[in-house]
Amino acid sequence: MPINYTGTTRNYTELEKITEELYQDSKTLRERVIDIEEGHKSGTDVYESKVEVAMTALNTGEVTATGDIDLNVQKTPVSLVGFNYEDRINDNALKGTRFEKSMKAGAYNVVSDEFDRKVLIQIQPAIGADIETKLWNGATAATKAAVALLVAGAGQGSITAAAQAAVAAMPTTLFDSLVVRTLYNDSQSKTAPGAGLGDYIKVTGAVITAANIAAQYALLYAGAPSKVTDNPNAQFFAPLGHRQFIKAANNAVGAAQQI
């Protein structure tokens, strides 16, 4: 007998795997690339110390107060920032898709187990990727305004116009990135304590490309204090995009292979 059907049809032949966007979680937090202090509330005091000593001629007599050993301890309260990632998931929009097949019977049962296992689970790594980006690129509106008011100069002890432009071009976020906190912070241990320019060493260079990355990195290395570069645990922080430049430079025809 013939089968008579009225309505539209759907093709249920589907790939088992859903193509997912390539996410990365926060490598900075996961691998502890930086020192992370957890379990504190806003206003926690952070102490910084510095010691300077001076050598003097041999003295076999009584030890006196010479001022040749200078001990400095400073306290800076740290204000923390709270933020959310929140939304509502409307599973009703999944009706008519492959995910409806995993919904239980009944008009009110619109939760798809397959959607939760294969799509909803991607939210956590997506949040990690977003945090990773903001840890290294972003500034609050208040910090952007404060950095813009700094007087730019070529010498050490002043911000460069390029650094000001870089901060201005950063996304406006809820907290300052690590790069911005290096340029501008409220540490009491700085040469000029309190809110303002950070104690950082400026190295004048050019926009980094595959052609000049070796020379530009050499400038950074040469400009760093020897007590930093001589430390076997010292780390070099750079944009992930520079990895491509390094690979391109190392694979250039006739180029001397770099480590």
Query: How distant, in Å, are the alpha carbons of 203, 217, 233, 238 from that of 211?
Result: 19, 12, 28, 17
Rounded to 5 degrees, φ, ψ at 185 are: -155, 175
Structure confidence by residue, pLDDT tens digits, 100-119: 888 888 888 888 898 988 88
- Where the chain has pLDDT below 70, the residues are 1, 5, 9-13, 23, 253-259
Structure confidence by residue, pLDDT tens digits, 217-249: 999 999 998 988 899 888 888 888 899 998 888
Task: Check if the beta carbon of residue 51 is closer than 8 Å to that of residue 69.
Answer: yes
Helix 242-250, helix 213-223: angle, nearest 10: 120
Q: What ranges in the chain are assigned the alpha helix state H?
A: 27-30, 113-118, 123-136, 141-148, 161-169, 178-183, 213-223, 226-229, 242-250
Q: Quick count: other Cβ atoms within 10 Å of Cβ 215?
A: 11
Euclidean distance between CA atoms 224 and 11, whole angstroms: 63
Which residue pairs from 249-258 have beta carbons closer than 8 angstroms and sit at least 24 positions apart in sequence? 249/210, 249/211, 249/213, 249/214, 252/210, 258/214
Token digits of residue 162 = 């390029």
Whole-model pTM: value is: 0.78
Task: Check if the beta carbon of residue 24 is closer than 8 Å to that of residue 131.
Answer: no
Euclidean distance between CA atoms 112 and 100, whole angstroms: 6
Euclidean distance between CA atoms 43 and 41, whole angstroms: 6
- Find the farthest-apart pair of alpha carbons in the chain and give their distance in angstroms, rounded: 119
pLDDT given at position 258: 54
pLDDT given at position 138: 96
Q: Quick count: other Cβ atoms within 10 Å of Cβ 134?
A: 20
CA-based nearest residue to 195, from 51, 40, 77: 77
